A and B are shown apart, each in its own frame.
Chain A
Amino acid sequence: MDMNLSLTSSSIAAPTQSRSYWHVVARQLRHEPVAIASAFVLFLIVMAAVFAPWIAPADPFKASMLKRLLPIGSSGFWLGTDELGRDMMTRLMYGGRLSLVMGVVPVFAAFFIGTSIGLFAGYVGGRINMVIMRVLDVFYAFPSVLLAVAISGALGPGMSNSLIALTLVFVPQVVRVAESVTTQVRQLDYIEAARLSGASAFSIIRFHVLGNVLGPVFVYATGLLSVSMILASGLSFLGLGVKPPEPEWGLMLNTLRSAIYSNPWVAALPGALIFITSIAFNLLADGIRSAMDIRR
């Protein structure tokens, strides 16, 4: 316990310490083959989405009535065509852009907002903490899918409204994790020592609390990514998210539903990509979780 050291030179000591911790986590992660494979799959999907305009074989919006619903393996259309004769491979690559954004952005937003609220509530403690947590308890009274559908339905269909809805669904969950860790850390002796030696609330949170809170919240947030992907595409599937003709996996799954009798495999493709992405996120999150357990 070298608390004096961390007090006098807190601005220097804390970052070095946290860097070495993440270093250890990264090294530990190398022993998780499943997590690495998942990270690789995610890397491929992200690359295909980012570079879609340069590597996709066709124009994602170019329809052709003559080439509707071609099966997988057709010449020129490796993965077939959709109900308007647009190239599936192209649209799946482009679709990754919106689907990934819609899945990842709410988790990021909830991570920042939720951690801030949780840190504040946990650090301040007392009555203010209780009020914040009780207000957030109300959101727990709604099943998450229902809450997401209800908020984005009330706001009206559209991509930004779906993003807001999903963020609102995840914020209370992140707050809960951040708040409980902050409350635990706040009661430790070294925080008391820092406060007695005159450190401001901000620097205590920044240098002494944040480092302890970020880990658990980060693990929790990575676990949310898979749920978020499924929910985001689900909203588009219901017609509440991305609007046609934009390519997005959930929306593509919805518009291709009528084709399950004529061309089932093509119709199932967008969902398969949602599934692969979501399972990869889940397995990566599991790997990160067990890699970070070294601390205990």
Chain B
Amino acid sequence: MLSYILKRLLYALPIALSVTVVSFMLVYLAPGDPLNAIAPADAPADVIAALKSAYGLDRPVPVQYGLWLWRALQGDLGTSIASGRAVVTEVFSAVGNTLLLAGIASCLGVLVGCVLGALAGYKHGSGIDRTATAMSVVGVSIPHYWLGLVLTIIFSTWLGWFPAMGAGPGGSADWTWDWEHMRYLVLPSVTLSVIPMGIITRTVRALVADMLEQEFVVALRARGLNGVAIFRHVAKNTAPTVLAVAGLQVGYLMGGSILVETVFAWPGTGFLLNTAIFQRDIPLLQGTLLVLCMFFVVLNLVVDIIQPLIDPRMGRS
């Protein structure tokens, strides 16, 4: 088991390192000088030179990367060109907001997906099965930014139950866990939960339906075990796969929330990425990408490590 964890860690390290390279280098894909965003087009040469050295852009790219990585390891991601604030501060408050949204959305999506999928798998071919299957197809096919818009039209402009945008009456700064603030979470998190809901329903349905045909379930039935006991066996056997799929989905939500955050003007990483891209704020873009992707790498690692704890067969292979 320990060697398995070590192997996973060793495997994740080069991936994490490559992610830092990609996050740093991505901005160099674009043609043109990164300085164009801050310096006016007719700036004198000495001003440009001074700016270049201030942002460290006068050094060779590998050196820039090395310095950037070294500082990032110490928790310094540079200064945002657009706002002049430290990138770390900006990214972490935004990541907090995104995590809040993605966390609630994943819980909702995984829960509903598991229940629907299990029901559909148990009642294979029934009305419930068809409904759940239809819902899961809709879930994976719907453009979630559009769903957000439709939910806003129905529940915000018509019924007036939930606010259409923002993260609370006073912005995200004074967040508290009361209904006045949590109302703002409802529409974005429901919108976001539809993606994992669809995929997890599909996975659980297929797994449960497959599991119920296995010989060991037939044997359990023959021994006279009741539904609850059989369900425990089925749940135990499907859990590792569901966990793997769910873990991946939670990670995708971190990225997928970009579009939903735009629809609801949620002050998360999506909003930050938008700012970074359209103002060509390179340190902000690099920092946001890095933090989000590291989350994804760590999440995958955690899922890989938890899986054999649930299913010991995996650790041995």
Binding site for B on A (CB under 8 A): 134, 137-138, 141-147, 149-151, 153-156, 226, 229-230, 233-234, 237-240, 250, 253, 257, 260-261, 264, 267-268, 271-272, 274-275, 278-279, 281-283, 286
Chain A: CB-nearest residue to B158: A264
Q: Is the CB of A253 within 8 A of B145?
A: yes
List of B residues within 8 angstroms of A233 by Cβ: 143
Q: Is the CB of B254 within 8 A of A138?
A: no
List of A residues within 8 angstroms of B18 by Cβ: 138, 141
Q: Is the CB of A153 within 8 A of B273?
A: yes
Q: Is the CB of B149 within 8 A of A267?
A: yes
What is the bound-complex CA distance between A155 and B145, given in angstroms? 23
Partner of B22, one of A138, A145, A234, A253: A138
List of A residues within 8 angstroms of B15 by Cβ: 137-138, 141
Say yes or no for B140: interface residue by CB 8 A criterion: yes
A154 and B29 in contact, given A138-B15, A143-B296, A144-B255 (Cβ under 8 angstroms): yes
The count of A-to-B residue pairs whose CB atoms sit within 8 angstroms is 128
List of B residues within 8 angstroms of A137 by Cβ: 15
Q: Is the CB of B259 within 8 A of A260?
A: no
Q: Is the CB of B140 within 8 A of A143?
A: no
Partner of B153, one of A153, A239, A260, A278: A260
Q: Which of the four size classes fits the interface of chain B?
A: 35 or more
What is the bound-complex CA distance between A137 and B19, given in angstroms? 10
Per-position contact with A for B251-263: 1 when CB-CB < 8 Å, else 0? 1111110110011
What is the bound-complex CA distance between A257 and B153, given in angstroms? 10
A274 and B146 in contact, given A138-B22, A146-B292 (Cβ under 8 angstroms): yes
Chain B: CB-nearest residue to A223: B140
Partner of B19, one of A141, A238, A271: A141
Q: Is the CB of A155 within 8 A of B296?
A: no
Partner of B146, one of A144, A149, A153, A275: A275
Q: Is the CB of B255 within 8 A of A145?
A: yes
Chain A: CB-nearest residue to B297: A141
* Interface majority SS (helix, strand, loop, mixed), chain A: helix
Give residues 246-302 of B contacting A (CB, 8 Å). Answer: 251-256, 258-259, 262-263, 273-274, 276-278, 285, 289, 292-293, 296-297, 300
List of B residues within 8 angstroms of A149 by Cβ: 255, 258, 273, 277
What is the bound-complex CA distance between A267 and B150, given in angstroms? 9
Partner of A145, one of B256, B274, B277, B289: B256
Q: 3 closest pairs, A vs B, by CB?
A: A271-B146, A146-B255, A143-B255
A31 CB → nearest B CB, Å: 17
What is the bound-complex CA distance between A155 and B22, given in angstroms? 14
Q: Is the CB of A151 within 8 A of B26?
A: yes
List of B residues within 8 angstroms of A230 by Cβ: 141, 143-144
List of A residues within 8 angstroms of B289 by Cβ: 146, 150
Per-position contact with A for B29-52: 1 when CB-CB < 8 Å, else 0? 111000000000000000000000
What is the bound-complex CA distance between A257 and B156, given in angstroms? 14
A282 and B141 in contact, given A155-B30, A260-B157, A274-B146 (Cβ under 8 angstroms): yes
Q: Is the CB of A271 within 8 A of B293?
A: no
A153 and B293 in contact, given A137-B15, A253-B145 (Cβ under 8 angstroms): no
